[in-house]
Chains A and B, each alone.
Chain A
Amino acid sequence: MITVYVDGHAVELDPSMTVRHAVLRHDREAYERCADGLSVVVDEAGHEVDPEGAVFDGMQLFVTEPAG
């Protein structure tokens, strides 16, 4: 298992999972907002991270509102 941080909260995750799984495990509502295009996953610098991207131990993700 690896630890991914979503909005600062630690999420334990199988390393074969992806960004969307990390968000889903952290907050189902946030996941659904992302799926509906109402929210977006970004890195600390604000760059969008694709939900199908691979995760790694210590990865930091944030769920935010799209700026556009």
Chain B
Amino acid sequence: MRTPRSLASRGALLAAALVLGLAAPAGAAIRSLWIVHTTDFHGAVLGGAKDRASNRPIGGSAVLAAHVNRVRAEYPGAVLLLDGGDAFQGTAISNLVRGRSVVDVMNAMGYDAMAVGNHEFDWGLDTLFARMLQARFPFLSANIYERAVGERASWVKPYAIIERAGVKIGVIGITTPSAAYTTLPGNVAHLEFRDPTDIVNAIVPEVRAAGAEIVVVLAHEGGQQRRDGSVEGPIAAIAKGAAGVDGVFGGHSHTWVSGRVGGRPVIISSSNGRALGVMRLDWDDAAKMVVGAEPTVETAFADSIAPDSNVAAVVAEYEKAIGPAMARVVATAAKNLERGSPEQPLGILIADVIRRAAGTDFAMQNPGGVRTDIAAGPITVAKVYELMPFDNLILKYSLSGGQVKRILEDGLAYGRAMQISGLKFTYEPGRPEGNRITSLVLASGAPLDTTDTYTLATNDFLAGGGDGMETLKSIADYTNTNELVRDEILAWFEEETAAGRPIVPPEPGRIKEEEAK
């Protein structure tokens, strides 16, 4: 029975023997393999980021590829390249082509396998399947089950066995169980994400029986490392509980982990192409086991290496293609759509979009989150990104009328008149805090009943307490739709265009500031 303790002690003995120049047992040969790991790439195809600690440039897929090439050149034939998932969502150059650019980059880099992350479901299963078909490497997850039949999802491989330097490595994919609520819930409602440790323990014998000599877990699941080197979080639970596994790779938390749990090496390689993990595994041919391991994570500095020209060429093609995509006209503004104060035509328009998307009684948008005016005329995709550069999500609440009033008062106390949909209010700034609203009515003009229950949608910035939203922040009961405000604006603009309607400012008069009477 292999245990981390026996692995560690045997590895230590062999390592000591090598260091001391002692002869290895007759016939024994140690072959080292290097597993290079990236995770949570989030569409970071382009470079331009900086490492805040050193102020040096980092990342970009061509730079990342160059670092991988460097490891491959150093250890020819002995390197495996894995990704921990959440590869696509996050940048215009990826989002606008639904992750196609990222898979082309990953194909060019020669990835061997990738775990399915929660954000792989963001654009629905059809898009995920398209990316899987495009990829020249398998997507892996062993813990995705079809809820209706209770069977493992047939469309994704639970594991892959890849040979390097004459050793067969079994790679088991795991998707975070939090995928049930960290992507669009409707996209995964028919799926069940089972406990990673239970699944790994159940499948390791199958992977070994299929010929794997080394077994690693490629999980889209998070954790972090403490100053004393210990590893915590869900990835540590997997590493601790999964028997018969030689190494564990994590992700999801965008953290930096290169440590051990119970002797097992564990890596999480940051995110967004900022770093790459390298796990060395020493395979003992005679003992038929891993006898040593070293997990490291290194920053993908861009000023110490020449970018990979093949990957750079792929990126350049997408940069050229993305120009027209960003310039695509999605709607026409009949008039100027401006921000203004206290009522922003554009702010209440966005509140209307949020309310429509969420299907709630009311919606609320922070005025500071509306980042540009829109001039009359064509509205491009780029303009919508400029208008709403943040990846703000839409959340839904069920609130009393009294809570709704307090929320709007909180905004006024912070100096912000929240942009609203489904409501109208008048306020006097000079009145005492908490009592500035002098009139609050429904869109119909009927008064808001402070004891009735209403639904309200807003963005996650306000939900987190942004712009003084103390009342909203204290309400823990809400639904995260995982819908981006920006995507809903784009979708609504396109629907209006398809219907032959230009975009017009909403009827004014929802927010009125009055002088003290």
Contact = CB atoms under 8 A, between A and B. Distances in A.
- A, B in one complex: yes
Contact of B182 (A31, A49, A54): A54
B141 interface: no
Given A43-B225, A52-B391, A24 B252 contact: no
A54 B253 contact: yes
B332 to A, nearest CB: 32
B253 A68 contact: no
A12 B473 CA distance: 10
A25 B42 contact: no
Contact of A49 (B254, B391, B460, B482): B254
A28 interface: yes
Nearest to B237: A56
Contacts of B460: 17, 21
Given A40-B52, A56-B233, A67-B53, A50 B272 contact: yes
Interface string A51-65: 011111011100000
Nearest to B272: A50
B476 interface: yes
Interface stretch (B154-162, B210-218, B461-469, B486-494): B461-469
A7 interface: no
A21 B390 CA distance: 13
B253 A59 contact: yes
Contacts of A15: 178, 181
A31 B222 contact: no
Query: Is chain B's interface secondary structure helix, strand, loop, or mixed overall?
Result: loop
Nearest to A32: B466
Contacts of B272: 50
B464 A21 contact: yes
A28 B254 contact: no
Interface residues of A, number: 33
Contacts of B75: none
A64 to B, nearest CB: 10
A67 B52 contact: yes
Contacts of A50: 40, 254, 270-272, 274
Interface in B33-70: 40, 42, 50-56
**Residue among A1, A40, A45 with max Cβ neighbours from chain B (10 Å):** A45
A54 B464 contact: no
B271 A53 contact: yes
Nearest to A24: B464
Contact of B466 (A24, A59, A66): A24
Interface in B453-509: 460-461, 464-466, 468, 473, 476, 478, 480, 482
B233 A16 contact: no
B176 interface: yes
B175 interface: no
Contact of B53 (A1, A31, A48): A48
Contacts of B178: 15-16, 54
Interface in B171-223: 176, 178, 181-182, 222-223
Interface string B241-282: 000000000001111100000000000001110100000000
B13 to A, nearest CB: 30
B226 interface: yes
B253 A53 contact: yes
B476 A14 contact: yes
Contacts of B90: 52
B246 to A, nearest CB: 24
30 contacts: A14-B478, A15-B181, A17-B480, A20-B464, A24-B464, A24-B465, A31-B464, A43-B225, A44-B225, A45-B226, A47-B225, A49-B224, A49-B253, A49-B256, A50-B270, A50-B274, A52-B90, A53-B252, A53-B253, A53-B255, A53-B271, A54-B182, A54-B222, A54-B252, A56-B233, A56-B253, A58-B232, A60-B224, A68-B51, A68-B56
Given A43-B224, A44-B226, A66-B53, 14 more contacts: A1-B476, A12-B476, A17-B480, A19-B254, A47-B225, A48-B270, A49-B253, A49-B254, A54-B178, A54-B222, A56-B233, A56-B234, A67-B52, A68-B52
Closest 3 CB pairs of A and B: A53-B254, A68-B55, A50-B254
Interface of B: 40, 42, 50-56, 90, 176, 178, 181-182, 222-227, 232-234, 252-256, 270-272, 274, 391, 460-461, 464-466, 468, 473, 476, 478, 480, 482
